[in-house]
Structure 1
Amino acid sequence: MLPTVLVVGGTGAQGAVVVRLLSESRRYAVKVPTRSTASSQAVALTDLENVCLIEADVFSEGDLMRLFTNIDMCYINTNGFAIGEKNEIYWSIRMHNIARFCGVKHFVYGGLEYGSKKVGFDPKYRCSHVEGKGNLQVNFLASQSASPMNWSVLCSGPYMETLSEMFKPRKDETGSYVFEYPLADGAIPLICLKDLAAYALWMFDNPEKCRGLNLAVATQHASGEDIAKAFTSVTGKPARYEDVDLEEYLTKSWKDLPNGAETKIGVNFAPNDPTLMTYRENFRGWWNLFRASAGNKGLLTGDYQQLDEILPTRIKTVAEWMKKSSYTGEPQSILKDRVDRRIVAETD
């Protein structure tokens, strides 16, 4: 009998990579709840060894009680863009409590952006999809005993793969690739998804080493200049970084949403919630965090020596990732919510 891992968010960009690596390890039986086993994201997992899809609503206490029963471990990655900050905090705490009640041995929380503890509350850096997870990992889990149910947090920054989507370059009239970000001289702690999944596997393989651990993972704190130079060094194509106005960038980035950048995050899940932030408000704080994180010395910092010790084979630079992934700079859909530009009430 293989130990069983429940992966909440297993059909999303992050969760699906975790599910695949758990399957490839052949050391775990994996259960993945989904609203529809017929969705394209769910169907993509059906041929994986030791993976079972279960139709369920992870925002239902009854379904959660059923899902966590007879489960050894779990990986939780909720989607704050679908449900909003307040609901993400509530349901993450509820999942933790139900998992403990049901006798789960190891609760691994897939967090996001590891600057919350250092930032505290500051409207300049206010970002709902950071604080929804950050409040759970910094404030709630840190106050919980790591016994008898062990808990660990796997904290990450933006996915390296979004260099083909959210962070993709444009071509100018000369054919040069232009990486345009409202980043100034800051840095983005990008993480390669395959390595993120490898850290998750390490946590399940080494529960005692990560008891009560909040692990911040990243490939590189990359500046705009770092990204452009890496692209040219790998592809041989001319590229440059251009700092752009934040408000204009936000207007352009989210123009396809129902109300553009003024669309509220989580509005379909909680249409009357007055605490919901707009995409403009949310990503204004997000970019301000990156602006204040240059050189791994600002608000968002990580211990790369620790990461090397845990995963010696990890990808260490943007250039290395571009080379290994045959990156071309051409657009590609990565994040589920941005594939069809709809705001969906579904976990990531």
Structure 2
Amino acid sequence: MSQQQIIAVVGATGAQGGGLVRAILADRSGRFAVRALTRRPDSARAEELAALGAEVVEADLDDVAGLRKAFDGAHGAFVVTNFWEPRTPEEERARPATTKEREQAGNAARAGQEAGVRHFVWSTLPDTRGYFRPGDGTPTFEGTYKVPHADAKAEADRFFLESGVPTTFLHANVYYEAFQDMFAPRRDERGALVLPLGFGDARVPAQAAEDIGRTALGIFRRGEVLAGSRVSVAGSVLTGAQYAAALGRALGEPVTYQAVTPDEIRAAGFPGAGEVGNMLQYLSTAERDIVELIDGELLRELNPELQSFDTWLAAHRDAIPR
């Protein structure tokens, strides 16, 4: 046990970090031990991880000294930030989520470098701004961002590059789990199932949440040879119509795709509508570059259990609202 290499996992009670913690604990090779970092080690999720065998350690991305201590002795560190963490309007005004993400990523990179971490896996996203034309009428946020939750992470990449610690840049795409809520099919006025999505005709990559963690484990297994690489996780790359067809097969009744334009989404008026509309416009405009980044052969080598949308639906269809 003492010869195991420790992987410190930021956000261990979240979707990405939790998936990695569980993947390490399930790994029969026993090569790695997992140190689960969380702000709330007394939470139910943290206690569940401890019961499964994880070392649970209190750590906060806003506390460099605490992070350094939590990273001490770790071979690798998985770092993820949470743009969508619930916050009050006062907190957002005082420190926008984009600022928080950049600062927290910088803190993690600095703490890991000082603690002697040998390999970072940083959960990031591409910078979307090059896919929007000046004056195209799409909203800009904080004077610079088009899709803040992606663009700010892309800006934070530099902290890991500057740290000198070998870093692999992991990109998650659309979550299959979104089809259980935000992207769930709905009944129209005739009672038929429809899938209203802003994918247009674009092919859009998606993956199960747990496959992000499993892929991260594969990256740590592969080691520093993947330093500097970008690994984009996707179990399926489908059009909106193909996602609808897959849902129809799983649910046992037709699901019709209804394309919703980014302009319609931006005009909907719900909180974050402008950013969501921009994000969906980016998915369409940048389709070729997004899809070309996905290396299916590498993904299957890193994670032999990688699930297609059909495979995931077969196990989760009862959780799809209808």
Q: TM > 0.5 between the two? A: yes
SS of alignment partner, residue 44 of structure 1: helix
What residue identity is the alignment partner of 1:14?
Q
Contact 1:292 1:298 survives alignment (8 Å): no
CA deviation after TM superposition for structure 1 residue 55, in Å: 2.4
> Is residue 226 of structure 2 the alignment partner of residue 231 of structure 1?
no
Contact 2:8 2:34 survives alignment (8 Å): yes
CA deviation after TM superposition for structure 1 residue 41, in Å: 2.8
Q: Deviations over 1:279-311 (max 9, x none)?
A: 2232122111122245xx255643334435524
In 2, distance between residues paired with 1:33 and 1:317? 30
In 1, distance between residues paired with 2:232 and 2:132? 17
Q: Deviations over 1:29-82 (max 9, x none)?
A: 211222222323323323212x11122322112211221222221100111223
What residue identity is the alignment partner of 2:22?
R
In 1, distance between residues paired with 2:279 and 2:83? 14
Deviates more, 1:298-307 or 1:280-289: 298-307
Listed as ranges, the matches of 1:126-205 within 5 Å are 126-137=146-157, 139-142=158-161, 145=164, 149-205=165-221
Q: 1:76 aligns with which of 63, 74, 79?
A: 79
SS of alignment partner, residue 22 of structure 2: helix
Q: 1:39 aligns with which of 43, 50, 63?
A: 43
In 2, distance between residues paired with 1:134 and 1:177? 37
In 2, distance between residues paired with 1:121 and 1:58? 35
Cα–Cα, structure 1 residues 245 and 208, in superposed 2: closer, same or farther, change >3 Å? closer
What residue identity is the alignment partner of 2:45?
Q
Cα–Cα, structure 1 residues 308 and 35, in superposed 2: closer, same or farther, change >3 Å? closer
Q: What residue number does 1:266 align with?
A: none
Cα–Cα, structure 1 residues 303 and 34, in superposed 2: closer, same or farther, change >3 Å? closer
Of structures 1 and 2, the one scoring higher in RCO (CA 8 A, sep 6+) is 1
Q: What residue number does 2:59 align with?
A: 56
Contact 2:35 2:57 survives alignment (8 Å): yes
> Is residue 314 of structure 2 the alignment partner of residue 290 of structure 1?
no
TM-score by length of structure 1 reads 0.76
What residue identity is the alignment partner of 2:236?
Q
In 1, distance between residues paired with 2:294 and 2:247? 25
TM-score by length of structure 2 reads 0.82
In 1, distance between residues paired with 2:162 and 2:59? 29
Q: Deviations over 1:245-286 (max 9, x none)?
A: 54654676xx8xxxx51xxxxxxxxxxxxxxxxx22321221
Q: What residue number does 2:316 align with?
A: 326
In 2, distance between residues paired with 1:47 and 1:120? 48
Runs of 4+ in 1 over 6 A off after TM superposition: 120-123
In the alignment, structure 2 segments of 5+ residues that lack a partner are 86-95, 139-144
SS of alignment partner, residue 50 of structure 2: coil
CA deviation after TM superposition for structure 1 residue 329, in Å: 5.7
SS of alignment partner, residue 226 of structure 2: coil
In 2, distance between residues paired with 1:221 and 1:118? 22
Cα–Cα, structure 1 residues 7 and 176, in superposed 2: closer, same or farther, change >3 Å? same
CA deviation after TM superposition for structure 1 residue 22, in Å: 0.9
Cα–Cα, structure 1 residues 143 and 54, in superposed 2: closer, same or farther, change >3 Å? closer
What residue identity is the alignment partner of 2:111?
I
Contact 2:196 2:258 survives alignment (8 Å): yes
Q: Deviations over 1:232-253 (max 9, x none)?
A: 223321211112354654676x
SS of alignment partner, residue 60 of structure 2: coil
What residue identity is the alignment partner of 1:218?
A
In 1, distance between residues paired with 2:97 and 2:246? 35
Q: What residue number does 1:241 align with?
A: 257
> Is residue 101 of structure 2 the alignment partner of residue 88 of structure 1?
yes
Q: What residue number does 1:18 align with?
A: 20
In the alignment, structure 1 segments of 5+ residues that lack a partner are 262-278, 333-348
Q: What residue number does 1:270 align with?
A: none
RMSD after superposition: 2.8
What residue identity is the alignment partner of 1:29?
A
Q: Deviations over 1:146-188 (max 9, x none)?
A: xxx3211111112112211221111234443211112222233
> Is residue 274 of structure 2 the alignment partner of residue 281 of structure 1?
yes
Q: What residue number does 1:100 align with?
A: 113
Percent identity of paired positions between Structure 1 and Structure 2: 23
Aligned length: 300
